[in-house]
Structure 1
Amino acid sequence: MMPDQEHPRETVDRTRLAAELAAAVAELGAAGVASPRVDAELLAAHALGVARGRLLLIDTMRTAEAERFRSLVAERARRVPLQHLLGSAAFRHVELAVGDGVFVPRPETELLAGWGIERTGPGALVVDLCSGSGAIAVSVADETGAGRVIAVERSAAALPWLRRNASAYPVVEVVAGDVTDPGLLSELHGAVDVLLCNPPYVPDGTAVPPEVSEHDPAEAVFGGGDGLVVIRPVIELAAALLKPGGHVGIEHDDVHGAAVPDLLRADGRFTEVTAHDDLTGRSRYATARRR
């Protein structure tokens, strides 16, 4: 028997990557996904186990990879969040583990995190309220010399994700607590340098995409009839926790461009109240300084 008859060369069925991507883009576009091309490429890279930039160097997919890709695309077409399918969400310079039970961090929150990072000096004490996945807290720990970062979250479903993401950063402490509790972190009254918060702020009844309504926890999205039910006690708590001259930043809905700065001014314990827009020009967060 000839050697190649004794050990026949294995053949692997393949399919063209370009054709698979085109079909995926069409399917996702028809399903109403906002960025079908980007999502299709990220899912293809995930199925192939490569970085998205490497797709330019790949012509074909093995049959098993193509089947995995098609399955992921079908899930995305059902509006399962892209980040759930990838298992992670990019936020500033870090990758955060996310999944069922935790709010997927949004790019606009990177602006609030960046504002806080710019005001965090070496050894600073930073508090991140409504921490969720820990996006803000982890970014502060990753990009600054903060001495202590306290991440507060009340959701039993979100806390495991927060602890997982914070575990690589010794300065981050996870606290299970409710930001509407006036006694929260009472031992730190007057000691905090920077306080940041991305609370639930969407007014009840507001129409949201299926990725949000069916997958993000409602308690992390909706903030009561006017969207300010959590923000009001957060402002009160910030005033108690911050040291004189300390900074606070709070994300809010785009309908709150005047309401949240007005609440900060009305409290009477803040100065330098400033409204900030996101990159699309929508009102997104308000900042102030403790008198």
Structure 2
Amino acid sequence: MSRHSLRAAILDASRTLAAAGVASPDVDAQELAAHLLGVQRTRLGLTPLVEDDFLADYGALIEQRARRIPLQHLLGTAQFGRATLAVGPGVFIPRPETESLLAWAVHAIAAVERPVVVDLCTGSGALALAIAAERPDARVIGVERSSVALAWARRNAVAQADAGRTPVELRGGDIFDDRLLADLDGVVDLVTANPPYVPDGTPVEPEVAEHDPPDAVFAGPDGLSVIRPLLSVAAAMLKVGGVLAVEHDDTQGESAPALLRSRRVLTDVQEHQDLAGRPRFVTATRVRLTGHS
């Protein structure tokens, strides 16, 4: 059995992925090699030579990635904050840009003892599990309508609990069902949401178009058909002084905050950018109103 240069194999794989239009061909080629070798990407240099069987398996993975099968599907996991999430067909893959919302959320409840946190449209459980990993004293509830996505979230919640981290409660059902969240009215310190928000018909990458569930991506002509009613659900759960953070499309840097400002029960509405400087999420605080709200 002959041996081959791993570096040369990765360079060749990177060229293949670049030609296929993959956005980060170098990183993806390295990640897939590290996955096969069972090492961290930063330690690939410790394996200068590989066998024929590695090249065959590696070539098969690169071929799949070149067909725009998501990297996370091939790896089987996605890293989000301190949470390692199992992901695959039927569940939205968490994106790095959402880590900006995560950082804000963790900071927002830093001074709250034993906070109650609800993550709406939780998908794989990414935000709920990442917040729980940062705040072992928190009660965190994730809510998801899709039975397929909920199965992924439950798998991830079990894995996190087995690792000795704070358990996360999961509820299956439509967030607009009054019975689902009635017990949480007025008791929640933080509500987060990464709902579907892409306007219908918006061109998206093949990884999204062919592998993310459409119901987790698209939300009507303006992309706000879920966010608009979601605000009432969130506001009802928040205690006075509780905070809300909602991710939105980068084209909604004005329209999403305007929706929050139109709610009398919400104040201190602020727009936030992701690490790339794009409008990414909006936050607000629940206030007390006298009379009808």
TM-score interval (norm. to shorter): over 0.9
Q: Match of 2:243?
A: 247
Corresponding position: 1:156 with 2:152: no
How much does 1:79 deviate? Answer: 0.2
Is contact 1:197–1:250 with CA below 8 Å preserved after alignment?
A: yes
Corresponding position: 1:229 with 2:229: no
Corresponding position: 1:199 with 2:188: no
- Could you say which structure has the larger radius of gyration? 1
Q: Give deviations 1:144-165, integer Å, cap 9, x for gaps.
A: 1443100000111111110011
How much does 1:93 deviate? Answer: 1.8
Corresponding position: 1:102 with 2:86: no
Q: Which amino acid letter does the alignment assign opposite residue 72 of structure 2?
A: Q
Corresponding position: 1:284 with 2:280: yes
Q: Match of 1:67?
A: 56
How much does 1:57 deviate? Answer: 1.5
How much does 1:183 deviate? Answer: 4.0
Q: Which amino acid letter does the alignment assign opposite residue 18 of structure 1?
A: R
Is contact 1:21–1:40 with CA below 8 Å preserved after alignment?
A: yes
How much does 1:141 deviate? Answer: 0.6
Q: Match of 2:120?
A: 129
Q: Give deviations 1:191-216, integer Å, cap 9, x for gaps.
A: 10000000000000000000000000
Q: Give deviations 1:32-53, integer Å, cap 9, x for gaps.
A: 0011111000001111121111
Counterparts in 2 of 1:25-64, with a 5 A limit?
25-64=14-53
Q: Which amino acid letter does the alignment assign opposite residue 18 of structure 2?
A: G
Q: Which amino acid letter does the alignment assign opposite residue 60 of structure 1?
A: L
How much does 1:182 deviate? Answer: 4.0
Write the distance in 1 (CA, Å) between the matches of 2:93 and 2:226: 19
Provide structure 1 residue ranges, at least 5 long, that are not aligned to the other structure. Answer: 1-11
The equivalent position to 1:261 in structure 2, one of 246, 257, 263, is 257
Q: How high is the TM-score relative to the length of structure 2?
A: 0.93
Q: Which amino acid letter does the alignment assign opposite residue 12 of structure 2?
A: A
Write the distance in 2 (CA, Å) between the matches of 1:115 and 1:182: 28
How much does 1:74 deviate? Answer: 0.3
Identity among equivalent positions (%) equals 52
Q: Which amino acid letter does the alignment assign opposite residue 36 of structure 1?
A: P
Write the distance in 2 (CA, Å) between the matches of 1:180 and 1:109: 23
* SS at 1:193 equivalent: strand
Over 3 Å counting, the alpha-carbon distance change for 1:256 and 1:238 in structure 2 is same
Q: Which amino acid letter does the alignment assign opposite residue 116 of structure 1?
A: A
Q: Which amino acid letter does the alignment assign opposite residue 247 of structure 2?
A: E
Q: Match of 1:179?
A: 175
Write the distance in 1 (CA, Å) between the matches of 2:157 and 2:145: 16
Q: Match of 1:208?
A: 204
Corresponding position: 1:24 with 2:13: yes
* SS at 1:256 equivalent: coil
Is contact 2:6–2:48 with CA below 8 Å preserved after alignment?
A: yes
RMSD: 1.1
Work out the number of aligned pairs and report it.
Answer: 280
Write the distance in 2 (CA, Å) between the matches of 1:20 and 1:82: 18
Write the distance in 1 (CA, Å) between the matches of 2:80 and 2:101: 12
Is contact 1:125–1:146 with CA below 8 Å preserved after alignment?
A: no
Write the distance in 2 (CA, Å) between the matches of 1:148 and 1:189: 15
Q: Match of 1:80?
A: 69
Is contact 1:79–1:211 with CA below 8 Å preserved after alignment?
A: yes
Is contact 2:72–2:93 with CA below 8 Å preserved after alignment?
A: yes
Q: Which amino acid letter does the alignment assign opposite residue 155 of structure 1?
A: S
